[in-house]
Amino acid sequence: MNVIVIGANGQIGQHVVNELHQSNTHTVTAVVRKKEQAEKLMNRNIQAIVADLEGSVEDLEKVITGADAIIFIAGSGGHTGPDKTLLIDLDGAVKTMEAAKQAGVERYIMVSAYDADKRQNWNEGMRPYYVAKHYADRMLEASGLNYTIVRPGGLVNEPAICKITVGAEAKPSTITREDVAHTLIAALENKQTYHRSFNVVNGEHSIETALNNLN
């Protein structure tokens, strides 16, 4: 598959791009916000495009056209205010869904947040972020796209364990950013993940086994 990674310069995004670049199965196009980020990727022979999630759907459609799948990992970041969270994590995400529909790209994988679907479990200190994720997820579920929504637990920068727990069994815990990346890529062509939303943390099962046993 030709995979568009939106938010390719983020910590998870970098892991996803690196893994896809080394893949014998998939090709990758990295979508980033800044010219210098794109230049660094292109210096490594990775195709990269600069795009603005605050721009138009039509401009995003041009970026997405020709892809087989989208992995959306973009976010405004913890240093910005609720306004940017609304514009990037919610409206930016929805615009890429609209662009995907217009471009005929059906496969769409979203990185969300643990329990974003359960208001009663939201972290009060990050409420605008959870609101954005909650409604972006709902828009994706209603979009008609072939979606997968991955809701990771607390993110840590440690080496991949390559073992996860998903769904109802995924109790509040952490997961390495690299394992999130592995999970996103494993989900690309795993039909068991199609039209599914699930929490994921590091756990007891291989990524392939965990995804195959989603219920």
pLDDT tens digits for range 30-77: 999 999 999 999 999 999 999 999 999 999 999 999 999 999 999 987
Catalytic residue among 108, 129, 130, 147: 129
User: Which phi and psi (to 5°) does residue 9 adopt?
Assistant: -90, -5
Cβ atoms < 10 Å from Cβ of 190? 17
pLDDT band at residue 82, thresholds of 50, 70 and 90? confident
What is the rounded distance in angstroms from the CA atom of residue 186 to the CA atom of residue 200?
A: 13
Q: What is the mean pLDDT of residues 114-127?
A: 93
Short-list 69, 65, 94, 91, CA closest to 16: 69
What does the pLDDT average to over 83-88?
A: 92
pLDDT band, residue 125 (cuts 50/70/90): confident
Residue 78 pLDDT:
66
Give me the mean pLDDT over the 143-162 stretch: 97
Query: What's the rounded Cα separation, in Å, for the pair 130 and 125?
Result: 10
Structure-block tokens of residue 203 = 């756990």
Quote the crossing angle between the two packed helices 177-187 and 11-21, to the nearest 10°.
Answer: 50
**How confident is the model at residue 149, as a pLDDT?**
98
As a whole number, mean pLDDT of residues 2-26 equals: 97
For 132-146, the pLDDT digits (tens) are 999 999 999 999 999
The residues, ordered by sequence, that sit 6+ positions from 142 with a Cβ below 8 Å of its Cβ are none
Amino acid identity of 44? R
Closest Cα partner for 109 from 76, 62, 74, 85?
A: 74
Phi, psi of 47 (to 5 degrees): -65, 130
Q: Which two tokens stand for residue 132?
A: 């954005």
129 an active-site residue?
yes
